[in-house]
Structure 1
């Protein structure tokens, strides 16, 4: 469970722990992970462990998967969740920023999938869920790196879903809309600085663009991920589950 210390990752870990999964949350900050794991254990009564792992570091992927399997055996569910890159329009993102975002959003998650999927297929069961964004369906100009690279993630997930389905493994994406996390605050702050408008105005305008009139709670996104990780979703494969309160306008 990537990015499990806060936000959508933490909420997803809570749902999975309540459903009876043995959960391992990962991230870059040991103190935050330890605190989050302790909180999840108290709130769910489940088994929750943590591992320091940087998805952008090629050397840590194999160690992370190997250690999770050593502690708990087979890896049945892999949730690939990472924070987004800094906001910026498509020609404002420089080469270094593109490369950093490429490692974070696409190459790092695919490394983990490459390690986990063959073993899932050999056992005849597995669930892989990529957490992406509704921006892949309704692009936002100031989130260029996220739009471009999460679109590539969506394509990769589709390819994987077709390859591994016959072995009892499903691969899907959850695409959140605006969600009350630090990431959303970062995006709105960047827009306020770029336009000279007040944060509160942009916050209200963003919420008003959602038919339900508000940003999502992280727990609402986590519930969608947990559903796709469950046995009940055994015939849901290769899809993008949009969780955005109805904001995306495409049919």
Structure 2
């Protein structure tokens, strides 16, 4: 299937590792020109080299940027405009905040979580949409977490801050639909990444479980009896970024091997 991404320009945030890197690779494999954004210049260069090795001829660029900074979104969009003069696909993706219980966290931790997981999405979309409108084509995909539909113990900061993005994305999807721009969220469950390993270690410590068994316990909770692969997330995002997904917007799609038990 030709996804129609040849020559499209994409920005992928949190692209130096894990799901972000897999998403960048999937987009590059479909012929998109991809700017990888993350905090660490060193890890970005490693990711660029790895993707270039996987995808011969991939057109890649990178930008080291801390997306919690108020001026970061403007810097990202200006960089892609300077490089390729357009922006077709924006993938927002940031690491999760620290664990904690609802009554145990102070104001600063809540505010930082909202800067990290909510305000960066608002700022990036505010900067990206005008550039997308110039070509009447845009795909915004927010990488969130299954916990916005099914809470996970000890992760109140992640669940609440990301849930705000769901509401924001639904509003935005309606506002920009007539401009040829779609806005969707993907909700990864237990995808086998470095971040999942960190969460598993935190949960094992909190509940007094064996850390060496925690990932196995997670896999057992998935009906498919395995953890998800980052490339499975990447390929879904590539589809949502494509011309073939033009009539899909305002959605929040679980990628979880059937782990979400909600009926609706």
Q: Which runs of 5+ in 1 are unaligned?
A: none
User: Where does 1:43-122 land on structure 2 (aligned, <5 Å)?
Assistant: 43-45=54-56, 46-122=58-134
CA RMSD, 1 decimal: 1.0
> SS at 2:63's partner residue?
strand
Give the Cα separation in 2 of the matches to 1:25 and 1:213: 32
Q: Which runs of 5+ in 2 are unaligned?
A: 1-11
Question: Paired residue for 2:18?
Answer: 7
Kept after mapping to 2: 8 A contact 1:55/1:109: no
The structure 1 segments of at least 4 consecutive aligned residues displaced by more than 6 Å after TM superposition are none
33, 44, 52: which one aligns with 1:41: 52
Cα distance, 1:60 vs. partner?
2.2
Kept after mapping to 2: 8 A contact 1:136/1:148: yes
Cα distance, 1:87 vs. partner?
1.3
> SS at 1:16's partner residue?
helix
TM-score, with length taken from structure 1: 0.97
178, 193, 202: which one aligns with 1:190: 202
Matched, 1:21 2:32: yes
TM-score, with length taken from structure 2: 0.93
Give the Cα separation in 2 of the matches to 1:246 and 1:98: 30
> SS at 1:69's partner residue?
helix
112, 116, 125: which one aligns with 2:137: 125
Kept after mapping to 2: 8 A contact 1:122/1:167: no
- Structure that is richer in helix per residue: 1
Give the Cα separation in 1 of the matches to 2:87 and 2:179: 15
What is the aligned residue count? 251
Give the Cα separation in 1 of the matches to 2:155 and 2:252: 19
